[in-house]
Amino acid sequence: MARRKKIYEGKAKILYEGPEPGTIVQYFKDDATAFNAQKKDVIEGKGVLNNRLSEYFMTGLAQIGVPTHFIKRINMREQLCRSCEIIPLEIIVRNYAAGSMSTRLGIEEGTQLPRPIVEYCYKDDALGDPLVTEEYIAAFGWASQQDMDDILSLALRVNDFLSGVMFAVGIKLVDFKIEVGRVYEGDFQRLIVADEISPDSCRLWDMETGQKLDKDVFRRDLGNLADAYTEVARRLGVLPKNASPITKPTLIN
Ligand code: TMP
Ligand code: ASP
C-alpha cells in the first residue's frame, strides 16, 4: 500500500493529501498545546471528540448556507475536506470579555460586550499570532477589501449559529476563532470556513455554573480536558444524552 503524502503537521492536526484532487484529509491528534506550544500534553480522546464536534458544527453551518471545507467524516480521527488556500488570519469573535482581551484592556472576564467584536491576528506561530488591524491586512495584501467584507459576514454568521446552538444546551459562547480559506470555481473565487470549530478554538461556559468547557481547562489547569469536551458533546447529542463524562469516548455514528 502506498504511503499517503503528508501536506502539513500542525499542533493539533495533520493534513494529508486527499483521495481526489482538490481534497485533503484532516487527522485530529490528541496533542494539546497552549501559549504557543510552551505548554504541551497528550489528552487521550481529544482528537476523536474534536473530529466529531467539528463535523457537527460544520454540517450545521452548511445546512444554514454557510460554506465550509467539510465534506465528510471518514473515521474516528479523520475527515475529508475541500482543499483551500488559507488566508493567513485567525478571525476571533468575542461576545463576552475573556482571555487576551481582558488582559489587554483590563475588562473583567465574563463582562458582556456591547456587540460582538471581531478581531484579526496574523497567523504566524514564530510571532505568536499578533493582533493586527485591517490597515495591516490591506497594506500587506493578506486579504482584499472584498475578502474582508466576506470574512466579517462569515464570522458573524458563524457567531449567530454557534451562539444559538450553544444557548439551546445551556452553554454561553464567550468567544471563538475561525480560519477562512479561498477556493476557485471557474472564473470565480469564494471564501469558506476551514480548519476546525471545536472546544479547542472556542470559549464555552456553562450558563448556570460558569464552569469552563473548553481549552481553558487545559491552559489554566482546571481539570480533565477530555471530560469537559465530552460534556459538550453529550449536551449536543453527539454522545448519548445519558453518557457520563468519560475519557475514552464511545461516539454515536
Ligand atoms: P484569546 O483570548 O487568547 O485571544 O483567544 C480568543 C479565542 O481564540 C478563544 O476562543 C481561543 C481561541 N484561540 C485559538 O483558537 N487559537 C489560539 O492560538 C489562541 C491564542 C486563541
Ligand atoms: N493554539 C495555541 C498554542 O498552542 C494557543 C492556544 O490555544 O492557547 O499554543
- Closest listed residue to residue 92, CA positions, set 68, 60, 116: 116
Q: Evaluate whether residue 233 is within a structural domain.
A: no
Residue 129 Cβ contacting ligand 1 at under 6 Å: yes
Residue 146's pLDDT is: 97
Give the position of cell 459562547.
173
Q: How far is the CA of 25 from the centre of ligand 2 (A)?
A: 22
Best residue among 101, 122, 177, 214 to mutate for probing ligand 1, ranked by most atoms within 8 Å of CB: 177
Q: Are 166 and 174 in contact (CB under 8 A)?
A: no
| Total-model pTM | 0.95
Q: Would 47 be classed as within a structural domain?
A: no
Average pLDDT over residues 75-82: 98
pLDDT at 123: 98
pLDDT score for 150:
98
pLDDT at 253 over 90: no
**pLDDT-derived band at 241, boundaries 50, 70, 90:** confident
CATH of the domain at 194: 3.30.470.20
pLDDT in tens, 63-76: 999 999 999 999 99
Element (H, E) at 47: helix 46-63
- Whole-angstrom Cα distance, residue 28 to residue 50? 7
Q: What is the pLDDT of residue 182?
A: 98
Please name the amino acid found at residue 134: E
* Domain presence at residue 194: yes
State the total domains in the chain: 1
Question: Is the beta carbon of 195 within 6 A of some atom in ligand 1?
Answer: no
Phi, psi of 168 (to 5 degrees): -60, -20
Query: Domain range spanning residue 139?
Result: 85-206
Which parts of the chain are beta strand (E)? Answer: 6-9, 13-17, 23-28, 31-34, 39-42, 70-73, 78-82, 85-86, 89-96, 112-122, 131-132, 171-185, 188-194, 202-206
What is the pLDDT at residue 3? 78
Q: What tens digit of pLDDT does each residue of 9-22 get? A: 999 999 999 999 99
Residue 250: pLDDT band with limits 50, 70, 90: low
Quick one: cell of 225? 480536558
Rounded to the nearest angstrom, the distance between the alpha carbon of 216 and the centre of ligand 1 is 10
Cα separation, 41 vs 106, whole angstroms = 30
Note whether residue 41 is domain-resident.
no
What DSSP designation does 241 have? T
Q: Is residue 245 part of a domain?
A: no
- Determine, yes or no, domain membership for 43: no
